[in-house]
Structure 1
Amino acid sequence: MTDQPFAHVDRTASEAAVRALLRGLGQNPDAPELRDTPARVAEFWAERLAGYGIDLSAELKPLPGDLAPVPVILERIPFVSTCEHHLAPFEGHATIGYLPGAGGTVGLSKLVRVVQAYAWRLQVQERMAQQIAEALQTYLRPAAWGVQLLAVHTCMGHRGVKTPDVPVRTTLLGGPWEANPPVPFRI
């Protein structure tokens, strides 16, 4: 799996960059209403990039016991991510699932953590879907799996073509689900 190491946010450098940006935009970063903005923005980005610090090998450990190999599908997991091209948010819902195989079954909240781990990074939707799929394959070794992201990108709605609320769907399927996907993955 192509996981990036934890990206430490240098708050001092981040605050200095925000101050410089404000000056570049013709604003006075020392004005009372902007004085705390650099620190708030640095904190915002530290939270926004927390996904780099999530260890999926620790999160995706199989549950003990002999569990029936039935499909596990979580629908409409909300996420917010950041477009790496414009540093603008995109948000939507993920549907992810798997048919347990050699890697066993994990707790449901762990699947949500997989989505969060990749959403809380600088990202593009296509790569995020691929990374989630790779995490399922690597750690769970499922008999079948599916990932579907449906998101709206503010970089498309607020700049360029200025066309808001156009959802983008990205779907990846593997194993027998590739030819015969369960209902939640059908378009």
Structure 2
Amino acid sequence: MSKVDLQKIEEAVKMILEAVGEDVNREGLLDTPKRVSKMYEEMFSGIGEDPREYFSTVFHEDHEELVLVKDIPFYSMCEHHLVPFYGKAHIAYIPRDGRVAGLSKLGRCVESVARRPQLQERITSTVADSIMEMLTPYGVYVVIEAEHMCMTMRGLKKPGSKTVTSAARGIFENDENKRREVISFIQMS
């Protein structure tokens, strides 16, 4: 990833504030461009990362049954409006030949993909494809549920509405019972 141009972001934020009629010299806004530039550097830290890298280390365990990590919190920025969306990711896979990933790697993959201007649908499929390619499991099933501020703060203005996306790979594409099993586990408290 190329270094983030903090100065350029600061200038752009100052221009936006001026464009909406704000006084960029008033006390509360003096350091806002600097704060926003640092925030963007952090929030877009996934640009240029390859989420597959989190699965370069694989463990071998005599386990070829469902593995599910659910309620993985994440946040991202809608690439259409540059406002946040946030929610939970649920990742299930069935290891093949005992190839398992460290559980934290599933969360790191989600975070890497989410930390860039993004669409929820793309996060869902990228996570599923990364796991499928690197672990070669029997199947992967990713479900993401999120609230989008572009629907809450503007336009439709429907706070609390959630968008749910899923990506099924391998055995989960055609085995309705396997998908149902994952959904039932996700719904458990």
Q: 1:146 aligns with which of 124, 141, 148?
A: 141
Give the alignment's TM-score, normalised by structure 2.
Answer: 0.89
Flag the 1:103–1:116 CA change in 2: closer, same or farther, 3 A: farther
The SS at the match of 1:8 is: coil
1:106 equivalent to 2:104? Answer no
Which AA in structure 2 matches 1:167?
K
Alignment of 1:37-186 (within 5 A): 37-101=32-96, 104-178=99-173, 179=175, 180=177, 181-185=179-183
CA RMSD after TM alignment: 1.9
How many residue pairs end up in the alignment?
182
Which AA in structure 1 matches 2:72?
I
Q: Name 1:3's counterpart in structure 2.
A: none
Aligned 8 A contact 2:92 2:182 in 1: no
Q: Distance in 2 between matches of 1:141 and 1:117?
A: 20
Q: CA deviation at 1:10?
A: 0.7
The SS at the match of 2:131 is: helix
- Unpaired segments of 5 or more residues in structure 1? 1-5
Q: Distance in 2 between matches of 1:56 and 1:90?
A: 20
Q: Distance in 2 between matches of 1:69 and 1:161?
A: 45
Higher helix residue share:
2
Q: Distance in 2 between matches of 1:88 and 1:153?
A: 8
Percent of pairs with identical residues: 35
Flag the 1:102–1:15 CA change in 2: closer, same or farther, 3 A: farther
Q: CA deviation at 1:163?
A: 1.1
Flag the 1:154–1:20 CA change in 2: closer, same or farther, 3 A: same
The Cα offsets for residues 122-166 of structure 1, whole Å up to 9 and x where unpaired, read as: 111111111111111121111111000001111011111111111
Q: CA deviation at 1:174?
A: 1.8
Q: CA deviation at 1:103?
A: 8.3
The SS at the match of 1:131 is: helix
Flag the 1:103–1:160 CA change in 2: closer, same or farther, 3 A: farther
